[in-house]
A and B are shown apart, each in its own frame.
Chain A
Amino acid sequence: MKEWIFTTDHKRVGILYLIGSMAAFAVAGLLAMAIRFELTWVGPTLIEADTYNVFLYFHGAAMILGFLIPGLTGFMANYLLPMMIGAHDVAFPRLNALSVWLYWFGIVLALLTFVVPDPPDIMWTGYAPYSTQYSSGNLSFYVFTVHLIGFSSLLGAVNFLCTVIYMRAPGMGWNQINFFVWTILGAFVIQLIFVPVLATAVTLLLLDKYLGTSFFVPSAGGDVLLYENLFWFYSHPAVYVILLPAVGALMEIISTMSKNPIFNYRVAVYGGVWGVVLLGSDVWAHHLYTSGMVDWVRIGMMVTTLIISVPVGLITISLVFTLYKGAIRFNTGMYYAASCLYLILIGGLTGIPLAMSSLTLHLGETYFVMAHFHFIMGMLATFALFASVYHWFPKMTGRMYNEKVGKAGFWLNFIGVNLTFYPLFIIGVEGMPRRYFDYEMFPQFQGSQQLATVGAILVAAGIAVMLINWIYSAISGEKAPNNNPWESASLEWTATASPPGPGNFPQPPEVSADWTPYDYQPRTAS
């Protein structure tokens, strides 16, 4: 216990991030079930509208701030990145320990919203003036949670940028680092630039609500559109903070499991990853297409948003063509990774109409939007995280998970999410607005809502099976046959024990000029 609380080891910090984010996922997932059950029938059924709104707020905030960002950056970067680049730890291990505990405090603070009177019901977007002048919800919990988790992210960003720049193994050039490492760099550059903007935006909310300022009070010269702009100026790039490490991990898994080097690494890195980082900062107004802004901004950001399909398309081509002439081996991790090739298609392509301001006039704020971003965040990014936990499970625990149970859980999850979100896409196009407690005006949508609930039950079962598999196998699974059961060529597999000891590498690794982490040619001697 003590050695976990005071740990500065990046692997333990990573696992603490994983536990925290899975806890947030579990709570937010249970709330999603309550939300789904409420929507199964027209009219109020299980819970009251105000409770429903609190659940909806917490589901969104916890999934994004508590699960996805910390899971895909905190956990993945911490556990994998130092080993991939051949470093014994991160650049500032104690800072790293501080950032994981700031994050944990953030989660605890967020959970306390359920104990205090007047929990926030302001949705994770916290739009003024509802959040500041009209909601009785306790805004400070939201704001301080964002602050804590934001600080944690910023410290992580500085730490990992320094780690990659200064601590790569001797001889490791920039074109030899893992694709995943590039995606983490991209994600943390985004965090470093944009998190302060979100922190500012929510701080202004706090000042408006409790100290009588009027940044967002129109009658006193404030502007409600300003908050929307500040919020999405961060929160759109935040999508890429989640998406980039997700595709990074998928690339590693797909390459390893098909024994093929990444297809067109250079273009995927310099065009794909950095293209997303550059373009991703100039598209936020697509969240404000119906907010009464001047028309040229809406048209301009329609074009930039559409062009995001170029770098994302290049990354997708690399993901798919890495399979070409491969020697694919299907384990549970690869099941999840392969399903992500389909999820990125659906999630990405349904983003295209939402990039078009004129189509968003109809589709905006409907279930179509909701289903779209659930395909990207709730499925693609989440499945990528699950794939990673399975793939690196032998590394983290020194044990194997149960393959049959893992695949059973996968099918439950995969069938479940499709059954949940296709009906919601369709009723979204037909006009079902999101964030609705009730849908009295659209009783014809009840059948679709019920299908979605059935799907959600399958997912809940699938997640339960998966968690049991992880916990049981971590404690008493079969011992891993060797340090590198998937025959990867990346340093975290080839040069460390499973699980790796303190300092990671028995001998500090050095790499030659022609080494790559994707060189699967059978070695004659090693």
Chain B
Amino acid sequence: MNRWMFFIFPVAVVMSAFTLPAEAAGDFQDHTQEFEVVWHHLLWDIGIIGTIFGVISAVFLIKYRRKSPNQVGGGPRFTMAQSLAWGLIPALIFMADDFYLAAQGWKLWIDQRSVPENAMEVQVTGQMWSWNFEYENGATSDNDEGLVVPVGTPVVLRMKSEDVIHSFFIPDFRIKEDLMPGRVTYLWFNPAKIGEHVFTCTEFCGTDHSHMFGKVKIVSKQQFDQWSEAHKS
């Protein structure tokens, strides 16, 4: 694991980004894929700002060491106009960057929250400390069995809690949403490829909070039909 050799911020963050796998896109806006794009923009953005400030600080710290015991600093003393310029110009640059990021975040947010029309609905119930899933055709499942879904059909989870706050998190799909007692919340994702992905609880809910996990199992259409027939209750 020689990547631990690099303890420089941009490197570390950029490297962690490369560990994120990408998913294939379908016909609609696959927000998981879009997340990767925004995340990489963001890493460049903060990497550049971080490098600029980091280099300036390091240069100053090395270059301006005291040379003789009686030396005093010769830093600038500003007139009001210079003072304002040194305030307003950086403020405008920061603000511009903020709006650039906000625009990207906003667009992604809209895609994350807009459920595709053909999405398959699954009712999710969280309780201390397990999950239950209920499908449109009456099939049921839980966290041991897994959240079984057919490949290629977007899935929307309508989620409610039986007791305390939980949160349904699928790291590989870059998405989570809390289950709020008294409310129904939702999230959706696009199971683009056959495979298995961990889901787990991310809102503290007591003793077995860290054991509320299972797998999203993405299977072929026929396999899914067989499975859901067999799991009708």
A interface residue numbers (CB < 8 A to B): 49-50, 53, 121, 123, 127, 129-130, 133-135, 218-219, 222-225, 258-261, 263-264, 266-267, 271, 290-292, 295, 298-299, 302-303, 306-307, 309-310, 313-314, 316-317, 320-330, 338, 341-342, 345-346, 349-350, 352-353, 356-359, 361-362, 364-366, 418-419, 422-423, 425-426, 429-431, 433-442, 447, 451, 520-522
* CA A223 to CA B86, docked complex, whole Å: 46
* Nearest CB of A to B179, in Å: 8
Which residue of chain B has its CB nearest to the CB of A426?
A: B16
Contact indicator A359/B60 (Cβ below 8 Å)? no
Give the contacting residue for B12; candidates A121, A422, A441; CB below 8 A.
Answer: A422
Q: Report the Cα distance A267→B108, complex, angstroms.
A: 35
Cβ A435 vs Cβ B204 within 8 A: yes
Shortest CB-to-CB span from A448 to chain B, Å, is 9
Q: Are B7 and A267 in contact (CB under 8 A)?
A: no
Residue of A nearest to B213 (CB): A441
Residue in A260, A291, A327, A352 whose Cβ sees the most chain B Cβ within 10 Å: A327
In addition to A292-B180, A349-B46, A422-B12, 6 A-B residue pairs with Cβ atoms within 8 Å of each other are: A309-B98, A313-B94, A325-B64, A325-B74, A328-B66, A433-B200
B208 proximal to A (CB < 8 A): yes
Q: What's the least CB distance linking A102 to chain B, in Å?
A: 29
B201 at the interface (CB under 8 A from A): yes
**Of the residues A323, A366, A521, contact of B60 by C-beta under 8 Å:** A323
A437-B16 in contact given A323-B60, A366-B202, A522-B72 (Cβ < 8 Å): no
Tell me how far the C-beta of B139 lies from the nearest C-beta in chain A, rounded to whole angstroms. Answer: 24
Which one of B75, B180, B202 contacts A225 once the chains associate, using CB atoms below 8 Å?
Answer: B180
Asked whether B19 is an interface residue with its Cβ less than 8 Å from the other chain, the reply is yes
In chain B, positions 85-107 with a C-beta closer than 8 Å to chain A are: 86-87, 90-91, 94-95, 97-99, 101-102, 104-106
Q: Are A346 and B91 in contact (CB under 8 A)?
A: no
Decide yes or no: A323 and B64 within 8 Å by CB, A263-B75, A264-B86, A425-B12 being known contacts: yes
Contact status B72-A430, CB under 8 Å: no
**B105: A residues at CB distance < 8 A:** 302, 356-359
CB neighbours of B45 from chain A (8 A): 352
Q: Is the C-beta of B35 less than 8 angstroms from some C-beta in chain A?
A: yes
Q: Are A303 and B102 in contact (CB under 8 A)?
A: yes
CB distance from B221 to the nearest CB of A (A): 27
Q: Which B residues touch A310, using CB under 8 A?
A: 91, 94-95, 98
Flag if B38 contacts A359 (CB, 8 Å): yes
CA distance A522 to B69 in the complex (A): 11
Closest beta carbon of chain B to A513's beta carbon, Å:
16
Q: List 12 A-B contacts (CB under 8 A).
A: A134-B128, A264-B83, A291-B180, A295-B109, A303-B102, A322-B75, A327-B67, A328-B66, A350-B46, A429-B17, A438-B211, A440-B211
Q: 8 closest pairs, A vs B, by CB?
A: A218-B182, A431-B171, A260-B73, A267-B87, A356-B105, A292-B185, A323-B60, A362-B174
**Known pairs A292-B177, A313-B94, A349-B49; A134 contacts B164 (CB<8 A):** yes
Of A50, A260, A306, which is within 8 A of B207 by CB?
Answer: A50
Residues of B within 8 Å of A313, CB to CB, are 90-91, 94
Residues of A within 8 A of B167 (CB): 290, 365
Tell me the smallest distance from the CB of A388 to a CB of chain B, in Å.
19
**Does B149 reach chain A (CB closer than 8 Å)?**
no
Across the interface, name the chain A residue whose C-beta is closest to B31.
A358
Q: Which of B161-212 contact A (CB under 8 A)?
A: 163-165, 167, 169, 171-172, 174-178, 180-183, 185, 187, 198, 200-211
A129 surroundings in chain B (CB, below 8 A):
163-165, 181
Task: Please name all residues of chain A whose beta carbon is closer than 8 Å to the beta carbon of B64 when the two chains form the complex.
Answer: 258, 323-328
Q: Is B13 an interface residue (CB 8 A)?
A: yes
Report which residue of B1, B56, B75 has the largest number of chain A beta carbons within 10 angstroms of its beta carbon.
Answer: B75
Residues of chain A contacted by B227 (CB below 8 angstroms): none
CA distance A442 to B197 in the complex (A): 11
The CA-CA distance from A440 to B61 in the complex, in Å, is 45
Judge whether A345 and B87 touch: CB under 8 Å.
no
Cα distance, A364 to B70, chains bound together (Å):
51
Q: Which residue of A lies closest to B92 (CB)?
A: A310
**Contacting pair B72 A327 (CB below 8 A):** yes
By a CB distance below 8 angstroms, the chain B residues around A418 are 7
Q: Which residues of A contact B16 (CB under 8 A)?
A: 425-426, 429-430
